[in-house]
């Protein structure tokens, strides 16, 4: 096992690409997750959205890969079945390899006696070859040495671990068969054997680890899984670590990191380890040749350079020569490249990333003659047993397949191969198909596709139409074409979509992809237009569209530009559009989100913002959001974070219950040393909640200046708590107190007055409107003012019954020369 796992191949499996795994391995961000519904977003673009909009890596505790079978929570038993999901190229297979290597070298999981790696792509081949077999025979097919084992019962006594890599590639009907298998020698279909193992009918003591892309993860019913995890790829720190390990020359590594950071789309894509490898390959080559003027700034340019580098590597290995003339290099490989590009497009239409020899044959590729070109198409096969003579193929990464598919479509357009373009245009072709017509149709098809599997392909296709990329691939194309007019029309088409306020159903992901599409066409006008909203004090003449709200939030987050104030209402938008701007809370000092009808996902964003490292947020207004009751835990998690430094928190009229108020008050203790203003008006705080709040504030270095508690169901008991608080500390900075519309009555005001009259009390504004105060209560207030007259500037007694005592209040303040307003 150690020999099989100690080396890693980046790209094609050959000696040149062979590297010691431990020398380049960078710990991935793996977190505990949930088995959600099928995710219909484009996988790679989901990484961009999660990075920009959720910022979840700052919230979740990472899990060490070697500890996935360890205990979780209070569970005394180790996890027996773990399901890990992650997008293509995120590092699932490499994590499995590192897990196996550490076990083989006795660095981890020493309690496990044997580990078996059973990739689904190879189980598919076994299923084609054998109708039925025993589980013992299945293991022998993968590990022939087990064939000498005469007594299989000993396997039942050992602690075994089975690793099933690539559930998304499975062609097995795992849970559609009913046959029961409990022994290693009973024969059944491959589907049935694996299902019975997962169901614990077979080898119930064993441990199981399954990896999958997100879309296929729910093929395993949740009742059979003890722990769900998700690989999120590299954090920003891990990206830099990868490049410094990959590139020994420190100056080169620093230059590459600096360049990547300048392009946010490239930088975020580097969350995906395989994209880090592609980027390092391209930028190293450019630095070696000192061609820094050719440094790619768009995704299409990056992949075009990568393609040329791969061709040159193939040339060195098989043709024994170095061809620095990319024109000749492309010309000599044109036939094979076009076959691969056709394969990429045909399989993309079928949404397939794994394919077999018959698929290659359909695209005109003879694997016996063309095997030297497999640097672009990684083949996975074993030769230990007959069943593995069949080969399985895939491109190095899904994004490379999408790039080549775009190359093929653009080639077909230039070559007027209308059959291949039928996928985009389902009406009768015009006699002369214009490029802008094709690109608009491709754009519309991608927009209409809810799964989003054409989104990245669309960016590549648009990028291909730019003349600079045509020039780089000129020897692959029948000819180049002046595309300026067509590009101009396509840009207008995209902008019209982006600006249409009626496009209510255009998801944030689509809106952001539209922005990327324009940048791929090297048009930054939409970006600049959106930035104007940030840099102008004048309110916009018309409302910001839903799509532009998404794009604006994205730009703010990825650019790390700090906003003084985020106020969605100032953009003249609907509440739906307001919610699209919520992710920008992460980069705002002040977030005014009152009355935005915040959803649960909005609350997740806000919680993430409060917990993000070096959070800049100092003022948060969530008033008049009646949906927050269900999100109290999220909000409390944010407030309790050591990164939260809120100074102003407004939660008025959120209809929080008594229990929710108790949770919030407990969380507010965490920010008490920073908090200057707190508004909990019109919530179910009640006397017990206020007592809890004041007790916590007394025990902290409280800097609170304004406390608003109108309509909080407070009684005279609360006045006693407040009086004690006002007298308790000489350090009290409270200058404003609003107790309006609480049933305090005169008996309560008499208790409160004891605190107001204390010299330590520094109140300047006191609101007691509608508190059922009569003449007796006002007399108590007047007495307090005579005792401590120097601070109070404003007293609101409207909607009470002060009687003749109002005059006493005025005369009490007249003894002090400072201005005083009685309402």
The reply to whether 474 and 606 lie within a common domain is no
**Dist CA 161 CA 69 (whole Å):** 10
What confidence score (pLDDT) does residue 295 get? 79
Q: Are 544 and 523 in contact (CB under 8 A)?
A: no
Domain that holds residue 790: 592-822
Domain of residue 596, CATH code = 3.80.10.10
State the DSSP string of 752-794.
Answer: HHHHHTSTT---SEEE-TTS---HHHHHHHHHHHHHS-SS--E
The reply to whether 226 and 371 lie within a common domain is no
Q: 573 lies in a domain? A: no
**Dist CA 763 CA 465 (whole Å):** 68
DSSP 51: I
**Dist CA 44 CA 311 (whole Å):** 25
Point out which residues pair with 460 in neighbouring strands.
Answer: none
State the DSSP string of 530-597.
Answer: HHHHHH-SSPPSSPPPHHHHHHHHHHHHHHTPPBS-B-GGGGT--HHHHHHTGGGGGGBSEEE-TTS-
Strands 18-20 and 7-9, sheet pairing: antiparallel
Q: Are 8 and 24 in contact (CB under 8 A)?
A: yes
What confidence score (pLDDT) does residue 726 get? 86
Q: Are 591 and 585 in contact (CB under 8 A)?
A: yes
Under DSSP, is residue 132 helix (H, G, I), strand (E, B) or coil? coil
CA dihedral 422, 425, 426, 432 (to 10 degrees): -90
What confidence score (pLDDT) does residue 236 get? 78
**Dist CA 630 CA 676 (whole Å):** 26
Under DSSP, is residue 638 helix (H, G, I), strand (E, B) or coil? helix
Given 185, 212, 233, the domain boundary residue is 233
Backbone torsions φ then ψ of 773, nearest 5 degrees = -90, 130
Q: 64 lies in a domain? A: yes
Given 420, 447, 481, the domain boundary residue is 481
Left, alpha or beta for 351 (phi > 0: left; psi -120 to 50: alpha)? left
Q: Are 434 and 491 in contact (CB under 8 A)?
A: no
The reply to whether 700 and 813 lie within a common domain is yes
Q: What angle do CA 600, 604, 605 make, to 5 degrees?
A: 120
Q: Which of 201, 125, 214, 112 is nearest to 163 (CA)?
A: 112
Whole-prediction pTM value?
Answer: 0.72
What confidence score (pLDDT) does residue 231 get? 80
**Dist CA 358 CA 364 (whole Å):** 10
Name the residue with tokens 């791929």.
520
**Dist CA 17 CA 14 (whole Å):** 6
Q: Are 641 and 611 in contact (CB under 8 A)?
A: yes
What distances in angstroms separate CA 119 from CA 209, 218, 782, one per listed residue?
11, 18, 83
Q: 134 lies in a domain? A: yes
Under DSSP, is residue 429 helix (H, G, I), strand (E, B) or coil? coil
Under DSSP, is residue 247 helix (H, G, I), strand (E, B) or coil? coil
Point out which residues pair with 284 in neighbouring strands.
Answer: none
What confidence score (pLDDT) does residue 632 get? 92
Name the residue with tokens 């996988």.
43
Q: 327 lies in a domain? A: no
Q: Are 758 and 726 in contact (CB under 8 A)?
A: yes
Given 199, 233, 267, the domain boundary residue is 233
Tokens of 590: 């002040």
**Dist CA 365 CA 357 (whole Å):** 9
Q: Which residues of the chain have pLDDT under 50?
A: 15, 37-39, 55-59, 73-74, 373, 375, 378-386, 501
What confidence score (pLDDT) does residue 169 get? 81
The reply to whether 342 and 227 lie within a common domain is no
The reply to whether 339 and 226 lie within a common domain is no
What distances in angstroms separate CA 748 from CA 715, 717, 739, 754, 771, one per listed residue?
7, 7, 11, 10, 9
Point out which residues pair with 208 in neighbouring strands.
Answer: 81, 162
CA dihedral 408, 412, 414, 418 (to 10 degrees): -160
Q: Are 246 and 288 in contact (CB under 8 A)?
A: no
Q: 448 lies in a domain? A: yes
Q: Which residues contact 218 (CB under 8 A, 6 or more apart)?
A: 35, 36, 37, 38
What confidence score (pLDDT) does residue 510 get? 77
Number of structural domains the chain divides into: 3
What confidence score (pLDDT) does residue 31 get? 65
The reply to whether 226 and 340 lie within a common domain is no
Helix, strand, coil percentages for the chain (3-state, nearest 5): 50, 10, 40
The reply to whether 155 and 29 lie within a common domain is yes
What distances in angstroms separate CA 77 from CA 55, 71, 73, 80, one per listed residue?
32, 6, 10, 8
What confidence score (pLDDT) does residue 74 get? 46
Q: Which residues contact 818 (CB under 8 A, 6 or more apart)?
A: 790, 793
Q: 187 lies in a domain? A: yes
Point out which residues pair with 563 in neighbouring strands.
Answer: 588
**Dist CA 723 CA 749 (whole Å):** 10
Total Cβ atoms within 10 A of residue 173 = 14
The pLDDT > 70 percentage for the chain reads 79
The reply to whether 225 and 341 lie within a common domain is no
Q: Are 171 and 124 in contact (CB under 8 A)?
A: yes
The reply to whether 80 and 224 lie within a common domain is yes
Would you give the distance in Å from CA 575 to the centre of its chain? Answer: 23
Q: Are 439 and 421 in contact (CB under 8 A)?
A: no
Q: 566 lies in a domain? A: no
Name the residue with tokens 């083949």.
379
Domain of residue 17, CATH code = 3.40.50.300
The reply to whether 624 and 762 lie within a common domain is yes
What confidence score (pLDDT) does residue 537 get? 61
Q: 795 lies in a domain? A: yes
């Amino acid at each position: 096992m150690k020999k099989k796992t100690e080396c890693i191949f980046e790209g094609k499996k050959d000696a040149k690409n062979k590297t010691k795994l431990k020398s380049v391995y960078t710990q991935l961000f793996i977190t505990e997750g949930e088995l959600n519904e099928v995710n219909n977003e484009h996988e790679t673009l989901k990484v961009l959205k999660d990075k920009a909009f959720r910022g979840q890596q700052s919230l979740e505790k990472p899990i060490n890969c070697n500890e996935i079978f360890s205990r979780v929570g209070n569970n005394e038993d180790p996890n027996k079945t773990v399901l890990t999901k992650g997008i293509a190229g995120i590092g699932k297979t490499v994590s499995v390899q590192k897990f196996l290597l550490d076990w083989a070298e006795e660095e981890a999981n020493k309690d496990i006696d044997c580990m078996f790696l059973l990739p689904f792509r190879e189980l598919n081949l076994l299923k084609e070859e054998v109708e039925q077999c025993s589980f013992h025979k299945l293991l022998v097919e993968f590990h022939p040495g087990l064939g000498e084992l005469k007594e299989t019962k000993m396997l039942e006594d050992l602690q075994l671990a089975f690793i099933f890599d690539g559930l998304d590639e499975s062609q097995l009907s795992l849970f559609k068969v009913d046959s029961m298998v409990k022994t290693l020698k009973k024969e059944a279909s491959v589907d049935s054997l694996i299902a019975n193992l997962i169901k614990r009918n077979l080898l119930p003591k064993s441990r199981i680890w399954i990896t999958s892309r997100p879309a296929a993860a729910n093929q395993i019913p949740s009742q059979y899984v003890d722990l769900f995890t998700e690989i999120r790829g590299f954090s920003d720190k891990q990206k830099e670590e990868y490049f410094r390990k990959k590139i020994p020359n420190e100056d080169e590594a620093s230059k590459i990191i600096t360049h990547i950071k300048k392009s946010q789309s490239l930088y975020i894509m580097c969350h995906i380890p395989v994209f880090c490898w592609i980027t390092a390959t391209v930028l190293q080559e450019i630095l070696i040749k000192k061609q820094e003027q050719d440094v790619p700034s768009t995704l299409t340019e990056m992949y075009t350079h990568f393609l040329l580098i791969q061709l040159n590597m193939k040339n060195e290995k098989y043709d024994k020569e170095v061809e620095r003339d990319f024109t000749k290099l492309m010309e000599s490989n044109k036939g094979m490249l076009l076959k691969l590009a056709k394969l990429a497009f045909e399989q993309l239409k079928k949404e397939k990333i794994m394919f077999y020899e018959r698929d290659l044959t359909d695209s005109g590729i003879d694997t016996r003659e063309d095997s030297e070109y497999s640097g672009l198409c990684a083949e996975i096969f074993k030769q230990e047993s007959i069943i593995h003579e069949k080969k399985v193929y895939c491109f190095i990464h899904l994004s490379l397949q999408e790039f080549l598919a775009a190359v093929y479509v653009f080639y077909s357009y230039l070559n007027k191969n209308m059959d291949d373009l039928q996928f985009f245009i389902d009406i009768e072709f015009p006699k002369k198909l214009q490029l802008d017509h094709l690109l608009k149709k491709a754009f519309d098809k991608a927009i209409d596709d809810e799964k989003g599997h054409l989104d990245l392909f669309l960016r590549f296709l648009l990028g291909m139409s730019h003349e600079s990329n045509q020039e780089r691939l000129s020897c692959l194309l029948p000819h180049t074409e002046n595309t300026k007019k067509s590009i101009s029309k396509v840009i207008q088409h995209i902008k019209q979509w982006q600006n249409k306020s009626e496009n209510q159903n255009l998801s944030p992901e689509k809106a952001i992809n539209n922005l990327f599409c324009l940048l791929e066409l090297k048009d930054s006008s939409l970006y600049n237009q959106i930035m104007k909203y940030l840099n102008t004090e004048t309110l916009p003449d018309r409302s910001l569209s839903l799509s532009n709200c998404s794009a604006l939030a994205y730009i703010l987050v990825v650019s790390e530009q700090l906003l003084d104030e985020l106020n969605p209402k100032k953009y003249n938008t609907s509440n739906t559009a307001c919610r699209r701007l919520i992710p920008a809370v992460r980069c705002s000092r002040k977030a005014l989100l009152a009355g935005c009808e915040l959803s649960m996902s909005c609350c997740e964003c806000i919680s993430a913002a409060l917990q993000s490292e070096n959070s800049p947020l100092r003022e948060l207004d969530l008033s008049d959001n009646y949906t927050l009751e269900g999100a109290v835990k999220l909000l409390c998690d944010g407030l309790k974070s050591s990164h939260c430094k809120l100074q102003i928190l407004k939660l008025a009229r959120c209809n929080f219950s008594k229990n929710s108020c108790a949770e919030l008050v407990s969380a507010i203790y965490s920010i008490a040393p920073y908090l200057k203003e707190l508004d909990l008006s019109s919530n179910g705080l009640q006397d017990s909640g206020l007592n809890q709040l004041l007790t916590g504030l007394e025990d902290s270095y409280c800097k609170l200046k304004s406390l608003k508690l109108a309509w909080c169901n407070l009684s005279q008991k609360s006045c006693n708590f407040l009086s004690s608080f006002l007298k308790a500390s000489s350090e009290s900075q409270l200058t404003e107190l609003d107790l309006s519309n609480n049933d305090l009555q005169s008996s309560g005001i008499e208790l409160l007055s004891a605190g107001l009259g204390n010299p330590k009390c520094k109140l300047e504004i006191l609101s007691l409107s509608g508190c059922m105060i009569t003449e007796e209560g006002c007399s108590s207030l007047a007495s307090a003012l005579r005792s401590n007259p120097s601070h109070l500037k404003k007293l609101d007694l409207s909607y009470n019954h002060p009687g003749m005592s109002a005059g006493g209040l005025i005369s009490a303040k007249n003894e002090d020369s400072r201005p005083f307003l009685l309402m």
